Amino acid sequence: MKKLSLIIFLLTFLCITLHLGAQDKRVNDYSLRSLFSYPYKTSVITIQKLEFNDALQYAYNVTFTSMGLTVSGRLSVPAVSPRNIKGIVMMLRGYQRVSTYYTGKGTENASLTYLRNGWIVISPDFFGYAQSSPIPEPEFMAQFYSTINAVELYKSLEIALDPRNGTRAVFQYSPSVAQTKRITFPANVNKICVWGHSNGGQVTFHFLEIIQKPVDTVIWAPTGIDFPDSAGHFGRGAEWAANFKELYPARDFSFIGNLDKIADGTRIRLNHGDADTSTPIEWSNAISEAIENENKRRDANGRGRIRLQYNVFEGADHNMYPINIRTSVLNNDALFWAE
């Protein structure tokens, strides 16, 4: 009996050790540091369904592949002649409750102004939402899986910049979409921009550091503290974050510590309301200061600056309301991308 108990104990210990070892490997594999050399792949974006259309847009539900899994999302195309389309805005939303989520939530209202200004908008749902695959294990690394989703989506969209490939190589209709519900895309697009909000704002900084191209970017009220402190702040707790940092080097997960990876000349329009109670404005103040310090180092080394426009809006909340401020912000975002 004692031998049997010892065998059971050793097998249990071995299983736990193997599980923790596998999880530890996945954490290291998906740190921001590791994502600089991740084997990113492109994917066809399949148009699965026309959700609705009106005088402003054709709103399609789409899927693409990332990390070998399915990501669903919303693709909205302005109801204008293809020659009047300026480009594509990739919109990366903030946190949403899974129980109340639907494709496009968190971006659909802001996208209306961009659509009116002639921009195609695409918004990934990310893993665990809508028709996307479940979040891989360990789930607490979802922030970094979303970063991979964003980079792989951008690389797929980039194919449409090349006239030799164009949009036909990127967007493909599912056979289930009737011919009467299909529109003609421009042959190719001239520009791809990025918008990120809240948690999606931190994903956007990760994206810029990985893609290392001067992508014109708008960021609203980003989660401005590094992982794991960001995860600790938004629910996991300070003790969890402290324990994580005992196991893994904090710099491996730090976007603040990797600002030097952002491409020379990258234009960033950073917007934050001083009445924001979700992501403190002090976080964006610190980001602005960190970018200015990075620019001083670039000046000394002969590198091109990060071209930051930092805008603080008096009385604006996390979503840039009241409406008069929000309207102004949205219109100026569209003008910024068109410059």
pLDDT at residue 195 tops 70: yes
* Dist. CA 245–CA 314, nearest whole Å: 36
* Dist. CA 264–CA 102, nearest whole Å: 37
CA 304 to chain centre: 24
pLDDT at residue 18 tops 80: no
Terminal C-alpha separation, the chain? 78
Contact 231, 143 (CB under 8 A): yes
Strands 119-124 and 69-78: antiparallel
Torsion sign across C-alpha atoms 241, 242, 246, 252: positive
pLDDT at residue 2 tops 90: no
* Dist. CA 258–CA 117, nearest whole Å: 33
Number of domains comprising the chain: 1
Contact 263, 303 (CB under 8 A): no
Domain assignment present for residue 210? The answer is yes
For residue 25, name the pLDDT band (cuts at 50, 70, 90): low
The Cβ of residue 238 has, within 10 Å, a number of other Cβ atoms equal to 11
Domain assignment present for residue 185? The answer is yes
Structural domain for 168, as ranges = 31-338
For residue 7, name the pLDDT band (cuts at 50, 70, 90): very low
What Rg value do the Cα atoms of the chain yield, rounded? Answer: 21
CATH label of the domain that carries residue 275: 3.40.50.1820
Which among 51, 186, 42, 204 has a CA at the least distance from the CA of 119? Answer: 186
Read off the pTM: 0.91
Domain assignment present for residue 5? The answer is no
Domain assignment present for residue 167? The answer is yes
Backbone angles phi, psi at 46, to 5 degrees: -95, 125
Domain assignment present for residue 7? The answer is no
Which among 252, 240, 248 has a CA at the least distance from the CA of 24? Answer: 248
The two three-digit tokens of residue 106, written as one number? 């968190």
Coil vs helix vs strand at 170: coil
- What b-and-e string marks burial along 274-306, b requiring 16 or more CB atoms within 10 Å of the CB? eebeebbbebbeebbeebeebbeebeeeeeeeb
Domain assignment present for residue 314? The answer is yes
For residue 3, name the pLDDT band (cuts at 50, 70, 90): low
Domain assignment present for residue 19? The answer is no
Domain assignment present for residue 60? The answer is yes
pLDDT at residue 10 tops 60: no
Residue 306 one-letter amino acid? I
Contact 57, 160 (CB under 8 A): no
Residue 136 one-letter amino acid? P
Q: What digits encode the pLDDT tens for the residues 255-273?
A: 999 999 999 999 999 999 9
The two three-digit tokens of residue 296, written as one number? 């001083």
Contact 271, 331 (CB under 8 A): no
Q: What digits encode the pLDDT tens for the residues 85-123?
A: 999 999 999 999 999 999 999 999 999 999 999 999 999
Q: Which residue would you say has higher pLDDT here, 250 or 132?
A: 132
Contact 182, 239 (CB under 8 A): no
Coil vs helix vs strand at 154: helix
Which among 119, 118, 121 has a CA at the least distance from the CA of 107? Answer: 121
Contact 232, 120 (CB under 8 A): no
Instruction: Say what the pLDDT of residue 26 is.
Output: 86
